Amino acid sequence: MRRDIKIGLIGMGTVGTGVAKILLEKKGLLELKVGVPLILEQAADRHLDRPRPVDLSGVKLTENPEDVVNNPKIDILVELIGGYEPARTFILKAISKGKHIVTANKALLATFGEEIFSAAYEKGVDIAFEASVGGGIPLIKGIKEGLVANNIECMFGILNGTANYILTKMTDEGITFGAALRDAQRRGYAEADPRFDVEGIDTAHKLAILTALAYGTPLNLDQIYVEGISYITPLDIQFARELGYRIKLLAISRLRGKDIETRVHPTMIPESHLLANVNGAYNALLIRGDSVGDVLFYGLGAGMMPAGSAVVSDIVDLSRNLIKGGVQRVPALAYMPGGRKKKSVIPIDNLESCYYFRFSALDQPGVLAKIAGILGGYKISIASVIQKGRKIRGSVPIVMLTHRAKEAYVRQALKEIDELEVVRGKTVSIRMEDNLDAL
Ligand code: HSE
């Protein structure tokens, strides 16, 4: 019987600090739940003198993560450095030494996950990554274990707290994109490179992980279609609102026969839907299983303590495995390695969606007819049109909603429309998802 479990932590930034705080300050509670003490044996960070809201006096500290990776006493290595390298090398090295791994590194797993997961499988160690998607929400465990009886049919996720915070601020307060981003950064939600948040890349990393878990397909980051939120203006948010919609950066993944679709883009969703009311730094994942129906996970997707909560839940899972000798009891990617099969991803051009278009066009006779003519030529059917205000000279916004139209045709139609003499500026197009409940 083990007397304790020893944990090594590399990376003491926001999340690492949260993990240390929980391990040290809730030691008693965790021991009651695990049976033996979880000891934070050693921690590494480049900035050891940085003030932190936790007393680390009882923890061996080092500036060199290699010290932790090579420490023979450590059972579980927690990687919270982030980024690709040296995180990848440290994880692979720790695996080769037989250590179990906990990481929150979605970028690394989405990109090099196949290499890392197979190294862990071959070596007979566990790797857990609850905090990589949805911060504190236990959705990975939910998919792997709670929903194990289901074929997953589709998922709709709000998976980036920063982007959601920005869109919420823009919607509620009418502030600019830049001001909302700075506010999110001050609150510690944003990635080191905020383009990952606002350009949809972080959401795509998370969707790649979820898609692999849900459908048993290899990680497919490079096949995910990605658009960010930086082109969304307060004007579009205002129009969406008047039409009864909210704009959310949505991760969508759906089974289509034997194939799947996977995409990340700003999406207009009906304001009455639960997902439209997931605001601020909150994340949510709506997941549909063929037995269970719809399940909604909701919670804080970023921040020191929520992400720390998820990391510690992984530490506890792996500790329990170690104590009972049940390593690799639950496959890291939900399916047994032999049961994972590649699914084809449908190219975005072949998908259909309803659209919101905002044209900037001169307010002259015949302009609408020209635009409508081009749309009609590409079999794009108009559902409604709004023009507000009147300008004798200069352009006015004309908003159109369409019925379902093929993506490739939309692209070609907008290219032609944007070349018209009477159209000033690039047309804004936002996909709409009206039928989140009944697909
Ligand atoms: N930057 C991420 C977010 C942190 O804003 O959601 C959590 O992954």
CA 264/CA 182 separation, integer angstroms: 23
Determine the pLDDT at residue 148.
98
State whether 310 and 382 are in the same domain: no
**Considering the domain boundaries, does residue 438 fall inside one?**
no
pLDDT band at 415 (very low <50, low <70, confident <90, very high): very high
Ligand 1 center to 177 CA (angstroms): 17
Query: What is the pLDDT, as a whole number, of residue 439?
Result: 42
Q: Which residues are catalytically annotated?
A: 206
Q: Which of 333, 416, 426, 435 is nearest to 373 (CA)?
A: 416
**Residue 200 sits in the same domain as residue 284:** yes
Same-domain check for residues 266 and 364:
no
Same domain? For 45 and 87 the reply is: yes
State residue 116's pLDDT score: 98
Residue 207 lies in a domain: yes
My answer on whether 148 and 275 are in the same domain is yes
Enumerate helices (H) and strands (E) in the chain, giving the number of each: 14, 17
* Same-domain check for residues 109 and 173: no
Segment (H or E) for 111: helix 106-123
The answer to whether residues 398 and 356 touch, using CB atoms and an 8 Å cutoff, is no
**Residues 296, 308 share a domain:** no
Residue 437 forms part of a structural domain: no
| Residue-by-residue DSSP string for 297-344 | EEEE-SSHHHHHHHHHHHHHHHHHHHHHT-TTSS-TTSS-GGG----P
363, 285: one domain: no
Probe target for ligand 1 pocket from 202, 203, 304, 309, with the most ligand atoms within 8 Å of CB: 202
Asked whether residue 17 is domain-assigned, the answer is: yes
48-75 burial code (b ≥16 CB/10 A, e <16): eeeebebebeebeebeebebbbebeebb
**pLDDT bucket at 192, cuts 50 / 70 / 90:** confident
Find the mean pLDDT for residues 278-287: 96
Q: Which two tokens stand for residue 190?
A: 């944003």
Q: Is 105 left (phi over 0), alpha (psi -120 to 50) or beta?
A: beta
- CATH number of the domain encompassing residue 367: 3.30.70.260
pLDDT tens digits for 353-403? 999 999 999 988 899 999 999 999 999 999 999 987 767 667 899 999 999
Domain presence at residue 343: no
CATH code for position 216:
3.30.360.10
Q: Is residue 124 part of a domain?
A: yes
- In-domain check, residue 163: yes
33-92 confidence digits (pLDDT tens) = 999 999 999 999 999 988 999 999 999 999 999 999 999 999 999 999 999 999 999 999
Structural domain total, the chain = 3
341 phi, psi to nearest 5 deg: -130, 140
* Mean pLDDT confidence for 265-290: 96
Q: Which domain holds residue 73?
A: 5-136+304-338
Q: What is the pLDDT of residue 387?
A: 84
Task: Using the mean position of ligand 1's atoms as its centre, give its distance from the Cα of residue 401 in Å.
Answer: 32
From ligand 1's centre to the CA of 191, what distance in Å?
6
Whether 22 is covered by a domain: the verdict is yes
Specify whether 189 is located in the same domain as 232: yes
Cβ of residue 191 lying under 6 Å from some atom of ligand 1: yes
- Domain with residue 122: its CATH number is 3.40.50.720
pLDDT at 28 > cutoff 90: yes
- The ligand 1 atom nearest the CA atom of 159: 6
Say if residue 102 is in the same domain as residue 126.
Answer: yes
Task: Kindly state the DSSP code that residue 275 receives in the 8-state scheme.
Answer: G
For the full predicted model, state whether its pTM sits above 0.75: yes
390 and 257 part of one domain: no
For residue 162, report the distance from its CA to the centre of ligand 1, in Å: 6
Instruction: Verify that 217 and 113 share a domain, yes or no.
Output: no
pLDDT of residue 392: 64
| Ligand 1 contact via 160 beta carbon (within 6 Å) | yes
- In order of 3, 7, 27, 315, 317, the CA distances from 40 in angstroms are 14, 5, 10, 11, 16
